[in-house]
Amino acid sequence: MNDFLQTLYTRRSAKFVQAPGPDQNELALILQAAVCAPDHGCVRPWRFKIVQGADVPALIEIGIRAGLDAGSPLPEPKIQNARKWLARVPVIIAIACAPDPRGRIPEQESLLSVGAAVMNMLNACHSLGYCGFWSTGMGTYLDGVGEALGFDALDTRFMGYLSIGTPIDPLPEKTRPDYREFASEWHAAPLGD
């Protein structure tokens, strides 16, 4: 098997990460991989905010505030869990989608492009020796969170966070399913006379 496929086959997510995280040059490589995602119509819908160091724990406070504003405060155990999670994360990339403002490309295709960009980032992290974890927690679907991170509420759709770093605990082996469980051949029906 070639090295590239081996990288794809061995990638795993790890929620609990710590320093070291990628340096600025490695972060540039990760983000450059993101913009290599398929992009119908060259919409370039990817929007990222890089959060590092002392700014990382502030993310949970944004989620807490959004929950209070929405009348659905986060339960205290969830808040404590999020604070514990973020306490050691060296880098988080907040992710949003800016669909085609002219509407020529369906929004779903831009959302898929952002998903592909995140997958590229996860693979790039793995190839550089780090782990990533895409989370839609911390108020991702609550009003005001994307805006608090600097995304335009009218032009973007906030899609969550990618945490990046070195796994705190050893990662267990992951058994992947056999692709044949999900793939089958299709054949056209014979045309009538």
Domain range summary for the chain, segments of one domain joined by +: 12-169
pLDDT at 109: 96
Structure-derived torsion over alpha carbons of residues 131, 133, 138, 140, reported in degrees to the nearest 10? 130
Q: Looking at the domain that runs over 12-169, which CATH code has it been given? A: 3.40.109.10
Nearest-angstrom CA–CA distance, 70 and 135: 20
pLDDT at 60: 85
Q: For the chain, which ranges sit under pLDDT 50?
A: none
| Region class of 144: left (phi > 0), else alpha (psi between -120 and 50), else beta | left
pLDDT at 182: 96
pLDDT at 79: 85
Summarize pLDDT for 5-30 with one digit per residue, the tens: 998 999 999 999 999 999 999 999 99
Residue 31: which H helix or E strand, with range? helix 24-34
pLDDT at 110: 97
pLDDT at 193: 62
Q: What is the DSSP letter of 49?
A: E
Residue 134: which H helix or E strand, with range? strand 131-135
Residues 6+ apart with CB under 8 A from 66: 139, 142, 143, 144, 145, 148
Q: Residue type at 114?
A: V
pLDDT at 139: 84
Instruction: Please give the model's pTM, rounded to 2 decimal places.
Output: 0.92
Per the DSSP assignment, residues forming a β-bridge with 163 are 92, 133
Nearest-angstrom CA–CA distance, 85 and 118: 20
Tokens of 129: 């020796």
